[in-house]
Amino acid sequence: MHTDNTPYILYGAPHSLYTGKARCYLRNQGIPYMERATTHPDFAARILPQIGRGIIPVLETPDGQVIQDTVDIIDYFEKRGVPYPVYPDGPLQRVIAVIVEYYGGQSMLKHAMHYRWSYLEQQENFLVHAFASGSGAAMAEKIMGRMQAYLPRLGVTEQSIPEIEASYEALLAILDAHFEQMPYLLGDRPCIGDYGLIGTLFAHLGRDPVPAQIMKLQAPRVYRWVERMTAPGLDVVEYPERDAHFWPGDAIPPTLEPLLEHIASEIFPELSDKLAFIAEWVARTRPADGEPVTEKPQQRQLGMVNTTFKGIPLEVGVEPYLLFLLQRAADVLAELAPTESERVEAYLERFGLMAAVPQGLAYSVARRNNIEVWAVK
């Protein structure tokens, strides 16, 4: 048990995508913390029994509360009050930020895992060091092998790799042009969308040698944004006399609109196919409210679905967790007056993103005791 004088403890790893998301948030907000690897004896003795599965990051609060998942970690602090709240007050900005968070943390797993593992030979020394440092030498080889085995389920195949690499370079060009104008996605402080992107763009693409070199050479402003997101406070020295506000009037910066077009071209039809798979699964099995989404806590996927990425046929795993992420956008729309709802929906339709907001469902996914469960209305 912690005392009031001890900091928060973040259990994670330097090369972990989702640990990176949580770590950046803690640093940007000036929250005192210490980071521990999963090899620390407290993780096996005290943390694992409480979360029920081997997964990171996990935050332990000074009063002994254990919180797993970056959304829950961030929301814990947002409710307590932080210097730079990440959820915009404006509904359009908030919905867009959640969609970008989904893209960065879920859709971009293809990019992150491809560049980490398809180029293993070129960066093996770096990765072996990373995994041995985070998990111990004895476990490193086993974990690395398991991670490589995920590639097909994420949609990384010999056929899709050229499209994934073209997508990464296109994203870098879009973001590089945007960051020439402002330090973060929606203005002068990071939103939840920045934290969605930083997981992949730091831990894998901005840190592993092969993709990081591409980023440095082709998109130096994106690399600088990665540095900015991993720094304490707001590292905005290139943008003097800024006021840490989001873009005014609940508008989207014009330089960000190419990113929205890019996202729409990438997440569909895969997202729609996954949502249809979940709908059929729920109709067939009729889960009870509060029932875990899968039989075992460590099992994240319901099954496999056939889809395409940039026209390339794929078979990918379906994680109900995506509903937990995107339901937050649907909740924003559900609370709006008709005129405001029409304004936001018209903007989403303009970029082909309306289908990313799962509205009118009789079910969703919530988290209870650090496990995803069905929320049935």
Length of the chain: 377
> Rounded CA gap, 192 and 71, in Å?
9
Structural domain boundaries in the chain: 8-80, 91-266, 270-376
Q: Quick one: what percent of the chain has pLDDT higher than 70?
A: 98
Distance of CA 169 to the CA centre of its chain: 19
Q: What is the pLDDT of residues 191-225, one digit of tens each?
A: 999 999 999 999 999 999 999 999 999 999 999 99
DSSP per-residue letters across 12-28: --TT-HHHHHHHHHHHH
- Residues near 72 by beta carbon (within 8 Å), at least 6 away in sequence: 367, 370
Task: Identify the CATH assignment for 8-80 out of 3.40.30.10, 1.10.3720.10, 2.20.25.10, 3.40.50.720.
Answer: 3.40.30.10
pLDDT at 145: 74
β 66-68/303-309 pair status: unpaired
* Two domains, one topology: 8-80 and 91-266: no
- Give the mean pLDDT of 126-137: 78
Stretch (H or E) spanning 303: strand 303-309
- Give the mean pLDDT of 84-103: 98
- Is residue 271 helix, strand or coil? helix
Quickly state the pLDDT bin for 240 (edges 50, 70, 90). Answer: confident
> Rounded CA gap, 65 and 53, in Å?
17
pLDDT surpasses 70 at 115? yes
Q: Give the other-Cβ count within 10 Å of 80's Cβ.
A: 9
Which of 366, 280, 290 lies closest to 328 in space, CA to CA? 366
CATH of span 91-266: 1.20.1050.10
Quickly state the pLDDT bin for 3 (edges 50, 70, 90). Answer: very low
Q: What is the pLDDT of residues 32-44, one digit of tens each?
A: 999 999 989 999 9
